[in-house]
Amino acid sequence: MTQSYIKDYPRPQLVRRQWENLNGKWDFLFDDEDKGKPEKWYKSFPEGAREICVPFSCETPKSGIGDESHHQTVWYHRVFHWNTESDNHRHLLLHLEGCDFETDVWVNGFHAGNHKGGYARFSFDITDSLTAGENHLTIRAKDSMSIEQPRGKQRWARDNYGCWYVQTTGIWKTVWTETVDPVHLASIKATPDLTGGNIHMEYRIDGKTAGKGYIIDTEVSFGGTLIAKSSRQITRSLVPDNISVVAPEEMPWGIHKWTPETPELYDVKIAIRSGSQILDEVFSYFGMRDVRIHEGHVLLNGIPVYQRLILDQGYWKDSHLTPPDEQALIDDIDKLQAMGYNGVRKHMKIEDERFLYWCDVKGMLVWSEMAAAYEYTDAAVEEFTREWMEIVRQNYSHPCIITWTPFNESWGVPGIKSDQKQQEFTEAIYYLTRSIDSMRPIITNDGWEHTISDILTLHDYEEDGEVFFDRYNSHLEEIGDCRVYHSGWKSAMADGYAYGGQPVIISEFGGIAFSGGSEGSWGYGNTVDTEEAFLRRFDSIVTAIKKLPYVCGFCYTQVSDVQQEINGLLDDEHNYKIAPEKIREINLRETGLRKVGNAH
């Protein structure tokens, strides 16, 4: 645990002590006739409103409403208090960690701002709209069934089907406020440099600083011991700083590296001051680690890492996309590590940032994947690009993230195999992502029909291990020409692209349906009825993948049952279906030409 940690704090890499969690009971109304704005509900919220428990969406039982039908527009209202005497000359920032899809915010009837996108955090400075004492906060969220907007696994029809589930409308992550000085730290970008023994920090400053003589001070410590101090004058909104983290001679441990086995983190305290007056104080952390691609391997700190990943859709029975609480996130990570996994592919979702924090702390590798749109249009391109860039910037500094995955299985780019425009779109996203982050590998179409990609990933739900092994036991130089089986044959590469020696990972397989389920429930392949049958099939397919000499990792489908899909290693309440040590033994058993590594 880091020194910056505060339970339930929603933004763990930029922590302030003065904050208020606005989750809990709010007034709530459906607005199917879209009359709330003309009738100015933001000035006077109608009587007779229902009660909802934020941050749970109105579709979920935990919200207190549990209405799974589609509603295009929903409204929220609550009262909060502002003490002008104690907070004189301070500003109040309102943060929404996630609200799907288009959000408008009013404070005391004044419009604070608008945001489009369901998965990225957004914030407004609401100071100018505040009054002493009681204040009224009103939020309107508009969603749709459009397949042009990034929606991930949210259905766009009346009922669930296939692997798409109940939609999420409106607020589904924490709403909170924090008090800041007019001049304050807006964001941090931390880039480790193992070779040079430095952490490169970029500080984004909000407020008028020109000619004011403001200073930003940074202290870096490890385990309570001060490692380095730095001071920089603030002359513009972006302040770079390069800080050595090599321990002094009297502490000869060198650099503490972040790995799954030893997830060591440095603590950071940052202050903005004017003379001796502290204007802003922020607590953070970072990990020193390096991710590179070399000769068909993914290297972590210069050493090949065999990735034992599991597909994590981040759904819960009664709260859907929203975790029931922070402990639920911790419990999931502990259970996955107990089963021998060293990473997760967070699928079609940008998870609560507290999940990334605990992956940082516990040493869980993460593939961060964007929620897909399902149609290729100009509007879809624009919306996807804007929101993906927000997400990459927001989550850049988490050491646990070692791969960006903007596209999956040609979703949103259905003609990518041969359509040059769609191919160029994926290339554009690849290079835009690379322009922000030169460290991490980027997978531009996970599963098949790759264009430009740092890793070649394949999805195959073959249930017979021998068949699977024979299918992929080809020479490495031939793998780019292979045909991937998943609901029909797919090409590993899009037309005009060739395999170039990238690492190969089987990033979806398994999906064995086991135990329970009602009519319409499903998994991949034949359903198994006994633990013995499950373990026999699981062992067969995992062992086959580990025997492939050029494959450097795998991702099993999936963590838990999700609504009609019953192929989780955990049930829909996130309880084990099978004793974790049995799964762990298979995952860690040495069977191939590559070492698959140790686990926690």
Mean pLDDT across the stretch 219-229? 94
Mean pLDDT across the stretch 542-548? 96
Tell me which of 186-190, 427-431, 470-474 is least confident: 470-474
Does 83 score more than 90 pLDDT? no
How sure is the predictor about 599, in pLDDT bands with cuts at 50, 70 and 90? very low
Percent of the chain clearing pLDDT 90 (strictly above): 88
Tokens of 495: 């037309």
Task: Give the tens place of pLDDT for each residue, 496-525.
Answer: 999 999 999 999 999 999 876 666 788 888
pLDDT at 474: 76
How sure is the predictor about 203, in pLDDT bands with cuts at 50, 70 and 90? very high
- Residue bearing the bigger pLDDT, 193 or 480: 193
Does 597 score more than 90 pLDDT? no
CA distance 5 to 331: 17
pLDDT at 27: 98
Domains of the chain, start order = 19-180 (2.60.120.260), 184-286 (2.60.40.10), 291-588 (3.20.20.80)
Which of the residue ranges 210-214, 250-254, 522-526, 575-579 has the most confident prediction, judged by mean pLDDT?
575-579
pLDDT at 481: 80
Give the three-state DSSP class for 160: coil
Tokens of 561: 């049952």
pLDDT at 86: 60
Task: Give the tens place of pLDDT for each residue, 434-488.
Answer: 999 999 999 999 999 999 999 999 999 999 999 999 988 877 678 878 877 766 7
Give exposure, 94-128, as e/b (b: 16+ Cβ within 10 Å): bbbbbbbbbbbbbbbeeebeebebbbbbbbbebbe
Tell me which of 28-37, 479-488, 505-514, 527-536 is least confident: 479-488
pLDDT at 212: 83
pLDDT at 518: 64
Inter-residue long-range contacts of 155-162, CB under 8 Å, 24+ positions, other chains counted: 156/374, 158/69, 158/70, 160/563, 160/564
How sure is the predictor about 593, in pLDDT bands with cuts at 50, 70 and 90? low
Query: Facing residues of 299 across strands?
Result: 292, 304
Mean pLDDT across the stretch 401-429? 98
DSSP readout, 275-311?
TTEEEEEEEEEE-B--EEEETTEEEETTEE--EEEEE
Does 545 score more than 80 pLDDT? yes
Measure CA of the first residue to CA of the last residue in the chain; give whole Å: 16
pLDDT at 600: 44
Give exposure, 548-562, as e/b (b: 16+ Cβ within 10 Å): bebbbbbbbbbbbbb
The total number of residues written for the chain in this structure: 600
Mean pLDDT across the stretch 62-91? 90
Task: Give the tens place of pLDDT for each residue, 256-281.
Answer: 999 999 999 999 999 999 999 999 99
Mean pLDDT across the stretch 74-93? 87
Tell me which of 313-322, 376-385, 461-470, 478-487 is least confident: 478-487
Q: Which phi-psi region, left, alpha or beta, contains residue 24 (left: φ > 0; alpha: ψ -120 to 50)? A: left
How sure is the predictor about 598, in pLDDT bands with cuts at 50, 70 and 90? very low
> Is-contact 217 243, C-beta < 8 A?
no
pLDDT at 218: 98
pLDDT at 179: 96
Among 483, 475, 480, smallest CA distance to 459 is for 483
